[in-house]
Amino acid sequence: MQKLIRELEEANIGTVLVNEPLSSHTTWKIGGPADIFIEPTDKSALSRSMKIVHKHQVPWRVLGRGSNLLVRDGGIRGVVFKLSDGFSHLSIKDGEVRAGAGYSLIKLAVMAGKEGLTGLEFAGGIPGTVGGAVYMNAGAHGSDVSRILKNAEVLLDNGDFVRMTPEDFAFAYRTSILQSSGGIVTEAVFQLAHGDRKEIAHFMAEHKDRRRKSQPLNMPCAGSVFRNPPGNHAGRLIERAGLKGFRLGGAQVSEIHANFIVNCGNATAQDVLNLMEHVMNTVEKQYRVRLVPEVLVVGEG
């Protein structure tokens, strides 16, 4: 591992940190350390670092804003790449929106709306990045990334770039092929339609106001914890099961929205996992529905 660290530091790729606490890089403010944490300056630096990591056959994972993610208390072995400022470019032309993987999805929806482009309104409340949204096929309000994606640039684990179409991603509900095959989204191109600026702004303002009233945005959380079962809502089932406000350790089912688990200040990943298991068991016992987690759980216990 020391040889890998030395090669990365000598490659002039950006920030390279050892044993970096991932609690500083997730919206839940939870997570053990990454053996090696890399924040590349741009996609060329990312490619160079990936080739070095590939040569040493070290496992890796990519991180955006760290939403929709639970890192276990033991942290992540190998390398964690974080895409941030060097992947935050944006260009809009003739209804085509081209954004870097590190660009905020909420900000992207706002910018598209200001240009009078419709199709991204669903993303106005999803607290992640463009890269994570493509990886997870993020969605809300009856729409998702698969409906508007034109293509995306992806870095393979050998350091080469490929351009993938929606068909290549094999999108399904909150999933894409990258979750099994690997690869890092570095840029996405969305094809949007022209709409009425006032209507788009009104739609997004309504949903923003609803989120502010119905979601625990003032506490560390990771968005919706469970997928909505067919024909139902996870939050509704959890609330009906009497679990709103239920707490284990430092983790609590939100008193505002039952499909959110909040960090009350000292939660561990194990607290969250224990609470998730309790919620799943209780809902299944009462309603014969087994909730499926939407958040990704990674790392070692």
Q: Is 294 a catalytic residue?
A: yes
Residue 174 among the catalytic residues = yes
Q: Cβ neighbours of residue 107 under 8 Å, at least 6 residues apart?
A: none
Q: Which two tokens stand for residue 186?
A: 């570095």
Q: Let me know if 224 is a catalytic residue.
A: yes
CA distance 125 to 118: 15
C-alpha distances (whole Å) from 196 to each of 201, 217, 267 are 9, 29, 44
Which residue among the candidates 65, 174, 176, 187 is catalytic per the annotation? Answer: 174
Q: Is 223 helix (H, G, I), strand (E, B) or coil?
A: coil
Residues 6+ apart with CB under 8 A from 4: 36, 52, 53, 56, 58
Q: Residues 247, 251, 256, CA angle at the centre, nearest 5°? A: 75
- Sign for the pseudo-dihedral over CA of 74, 138, 225, 261: positive
Q: Please return the burial class of 250, using the count of CB atoms within 10 Å of its CB with bins 0-12, 13-18 and 19+.
A: middle
Active-site annotation, residues: 174, 224, 294
